[in-house]
Chain A
Amino acid sequence: MSDPDVSAPDSRAAAPPDAALPEPHIVRSARPRLSLVWLVPLLALAIGASLVVRSILQTGPRIEIEFHTAEGLEAGKTEVRYKEVVIGRVQAVTLRDDRQHVIAEVQLDRAAAGVAVDDTSFWVVRPRVGVGGISGIGTLLSGAYIGVDAGVSSEARSRFTGLEVAPYVLRGEPGSVFILRAADLGSLDVGSPIYYRRTRVGRVVGYTLDAPHDELSVKIFIEAPYTTLVTPQTRFWNASGVDLSIDANGLSVNTQTVASVLAGGIAFEQPADSPRGAAAAGGTGFTLFADRKTAMAPPRGPALPVRLVFDGSLRGLAPGAPIDFQGVEIGSVRSAALHHDAEHRRYPVQVLADLYPLRLATLRSGSPTAQAKDSDQALLQRLVDSGLRAQLRSGNLLTGQLYVAMDFYPKAPPQKLKLQGGVLTLPTVPGTLSELQSQVAEIVAKLSRLPFDDIGRALTDTLRQADSTMKDLTPEARQTLGALQRTLGSTDAAITTLAPEAQARLGELRRVMAGAQTAIERLDGSLLNDNAPLQRDLAQTLAEVQRAAQSLRVLTDLLQRHPESLLRGNPADPALPERGRAP
């Protein structure tokens, strides 16, 4: 193809020359003149390059997170947020090859590249409604997102396994985690509140049931300013539900907040008598008690298993029944089982019980902290030597509940503690009820030994003999009775004849008596009446005598003071003080 003339419009040198004239040399410019317009693509290139470089700089690592389900995850939409700041986005959601899990591919921002380290955890935040509260409300509108708890490791990682539930303690959240060993979980759940003086100071962050060791441990988190409230002496108890108790003060209902009644919760407190120690270190283990009463009871310490062998029936003795030592609960019954006593050919019941020697610590002669098993045994032996015996007693007459009472029976035959298979056997005495039973049985046995048949037979013979005797005596008795009847009849007749005479005598007597009465009345009138002359004379005479006695007393006084007056007469009266001098 021929090279066409594509000259620029200003190439006016191309005017046709005359044929006669020589043609000028046309020199092609060695390099074409560059227009300034080329700055435009250069600028575009610069802008494009800067955008590309910036986006490369902004793009962080790409990580993969495994989840059980992709619920709520959308490729290109679901965000990854750390402290509610978007640090990445899900690019793709795929099934893992074995179809057990889904894999979310996440493009992290450059600024958040440090998040992709070994101990970072990811989880999907979805709206969650529980009794304890509602979380993730924002996700109702915005859709689920992936939450991040950034790790502190320096080891980078690109594959993660997502958590199914959000961790309840975020890294760096101020506070401490404690472990509570619990017998059962009650209505606790992850997120249940922890109360101190009914103020919420923390929450349950997890629980694990260690199946091989049959242990339930509850992990709790106490928020930062309150961690100092937890000391080694602190007691935790399950504050769920309502604590209803009847005591000497009447019925009392004790609850924590309504929320804890519904949703469960844990409360803790420091026993008033224990010294206030330093704050417990994070991760310290505590016991979770069932209620406040047991929590605040004096510490029981480790249990010492003991064996009690009772002869009588144990009906009414339930596992958990207390062992009471003079009103102080020092243990509880664990189980009861039949036992064969080959020596005595009996089948006593063997009760296994837990004794808490710490409750007996004050009885220890040595230091109360010595808790070796030997010293426990020595202590118990000492108590047994002084007559300590176990006895079954009735705790409740209505329900027939039994409990084990430890008490002193100084007259009991001395016994030694037996250690059998690591379990001490404490001596027992029969219970009050069974004692009574045996006494009654003894009496009954004695009664049954009486010869009731012989007695009855002898009695019958006696009665028969008496009967025959009576029969022999009957004719004589009849004669005697006839004679007696006749005697009575003659007596009656005699009395009848005597009656008019007696009546006359009685009339006479009545008249005499009337005469005597009038005589006495007359005498009474003359003698005893106030107006009787005899009476008046007597009174006058007595007055005279009284006056004579008075003057006699005056005379004796005068003579006593002035014996000379008997010879000289009355002394002169002293002169009276003058009236004008008187004040």
Chain B
Amino acid sequence: MTVGAPATSAPAAPRWLGCECCGLVSALPADGALRHCPRCQHVLHWRKPQSLQRTWAYLVAASVLYVPANVLPIMRTTQAFRDRPHTLMGGIAELWHDGAWGLALIVFIASIAVPLMKIGALALLAWSAQHAPQWRRLERARVFGLIEAVGHWSMLDVYVVVLLAAMVRFGALASAQAGPGLLAFAAVVVLTMLAAHSFDPRLIWQAPAPRDP
């Protein structure tokens, strides 16, 4: 990854900056001071600082924690003298065995597939921003939009477990406790959101495309 800018086919110097918050376009002064949007006081960046590096870091952290999130039990239920831990995949398998295929599919997509796809897609975006800047830029931009939109839905599992742990308290008959896997899972979701947030979509469009207008 390169942070410095090679001077070779550099585009024309930016003179204008758009605000990421309110969309106001303001002129870019030549000094290196920190700039704020004159309308909404949002910090203005030419590019997000250390965008790729941050993205990569969050992605690595998320993929590391993805393993315990799936291996460790996310919930422990005590039901009539019997203590049972539940892992994510185990719960999905139980739903599938019980015939609740729709539910199993939903949980699988929301809890397993989406975080995995987010990590993969962000990794692809970050890689291509460095090594293949002109490859399918429009699709990449759409993928990024999808990631942004879908990200927080992954927290559903965490909400469900926290609700169960808070509400199912019947002494020895039935109770539920959150397991260590839940923390890891929540961390994965949060880290992927941070990674998506760190990625600057402007990097997709940075390189001049020969066919682009």
Please report the C-alpha to C-alpha distance between residue A339 and residue B75 in the assembled complex, in whole angstroms: 87
B contact residues, total (Cβ < 8 Å): 55
Which of A14, A41, A52 contacts B10, CB < 8 Å? A14
Known interface pairs A9-B49, A47-B65. Does A29 touch B3 (Cβ–Cβ under 8 Å)?
yes
Chain A residues numbered 18-60 whose CB sits less than 8 Å from any CB in chain B: 23, 26, 28-29, 32-35, 37-38, 40-41, 43-45, 47-48, 51-52, 55
> Which of A7, A13, A52 has the largest count of B CB atoms less than 10 A from its CB?
A7
By beta carbon, the residue of chain A nearest B55 is: A37
Which of B5, B12, B132 contacts A8, CB < 8 Å? B5
Is B125 in contact with chain A by the CB < 8 A criterion?
Answer: no
B80, A141: Cβ atoms closer than 8 Å = yes
Is A521 in contact with chain B by the CB < 8 A criterion?
Answer: no
Q: List the one stretch of B81-89, B103-111, B116-124, B144-152 in contact with chain A.
A: B81-89
A5, B10: Cβ atoms closer than 8 Å = yes
With a cutoff of 8 Å between Cβ atoms, the chain A residues found around residue B18 in the complex are none
With a cutoff of 8 Å between Cβ atoms, the chain A residues found around residue B191 in the complex are 40, 44
A41, B50: Cβ atoms closer than 8 Å = no
A143, B82: Cβ atoms closer than 8 Å = yes
Known interface pairs A14-B7, A35-B57, A51-B184. Does A4 touch B81 (Cβ–Cβ under 8 Å)?
no
In the assembled complex, how far is the CB of residue A58 from the closest CB belonging to chain B, in whole angstroms? 11
Please report the C-alpha to C-alpha distance between residue A33 and residue B50 in the assembled complex, in whole angstroms: 9
Please report the C-alpha to C-alpha distance between residue A32 and residue B72 in the assembled complex, in whole angstroms: 37
A9, B47: Cβ atoms closer than 8 Å = yes
Chain B residues numbered 1-36 whose CB sits less than 8 Å from any CB in chain A: 1-13, 30, 32
The range of chain A's interface size is 35 or more
Is B64 in contact with chain A by the CB < 8 A criterion?
Answer: yes
B8, A2: Cβ atoms closer than 8 Å = yes
A43, B3: Cβ atoms closer than 8 Å = no
B53, A41: Cβ atoms closer than 8 Å = no
In the assembled complex, how far is the CB of residue B23 from the closest CB belonging to chain A, in whole angstroms? 18
In the assembled complex, how far is the CB of residue A124 from the closest CB belonging to chain B, in whole angstroms? 15
Taken residue by residue from 131 to 144, chain B's Cβ proximity to chain A (1 for < 8 Å, 0 otherwise) reads as 11110000000000
B45, A79: Cβ atoms closer than 8 Å = no
Please report the C-alpha to C-alpha distance between residue A342 and residue B17 in the assembled complex, in whole angstroms: 141
Is B203 in contact with chain A by the CB < 8 A criterion?
Answer: yes
A45, B64: Cβ atoms closer than 8 Å = yes
By beta carbon, the residue of chain B nearest A8 is: B3
Is B193 in contact with chain A by the CB < 8 A criterion?
Answer: no
Interface residues of B (CB under 8 A from A): 1-13, 30, 32, 45-50, 52-54, 57-58, 60-62, 64-65, 67-68, 71-72, 80-84, 90, 129-134, 180, 184, 187, 191, 198, 203, 206-207
Could you write out 11 A-B pairs with CB less than 8 Å apart? Answer: A5-B206, A8-B5, A8-B49, A14-B13, A15-B13, A26-B7, A32-B2, A40-B57, A40-B61, A47-B65, A48-B68
Q: A8-B3, A43-B61 are in contact. List 8 more A-B contacts (CB 8 A).
A: A3-B6, A7-B6, A26-B7, A32-B3, A37-B53, A41-B57, A44-B61, A51-B68
